[in-house]
Amino acid sequence: MKGGAATTRISPEAQQARALQAKLDELHRMHLDGRSVSGARTNQRQVGTDARQLGLNRPDLQYTLDGKRYYVGAILLLLVVGACE
């Protein structure tokens, strides 16, 4: 692999994986703080709060937070991490 300590470029896949993990960590913290977090799924078909399939698309992350269903794609995940750094 090319690059070394002076090279900080991270592949889009690695950035996306890191962003996804950051979002999962955030949800985990909210869960431990008493918020209602359930039905977290990564890269699976879109379903509603009742588990009914809503489409064939596969959001990077979907979850139910305090009774509302959220769907997150790669671009949004990167924005989440960017805002944290």
> Which of residues 31 and 80 has its CB atom nearest to other proteins in the complex?
31
The whole-angstrom separation of Cα 3 and Cα 41 is 34
Q: Which is nearer to other proteins, 8 or 66 (CB)?
A: 66
Q: Which of residues 16-75 bind other proteins (CB under 8 A)?
A: 28-29, 31-39, 41, 44-45, 47, 49-53, 64, 66-69
Q: Are the beta carbons of 62 and 41 closer than 8 angstroms?
A: yes
HSE at residue 78, side-chain half, CA atoms within 13 A, is 9
For other proteins, the closer of residues 32 and 83 by Cβ is 32
- Cα gap 77→19, rounded to integer Å: 5
Task: Catalog residues that contact other proteins under the rule CB under 8 A.
Answer: 28-29, 31-39, 41, 44-45, 47, 49-53, 64, 66-69
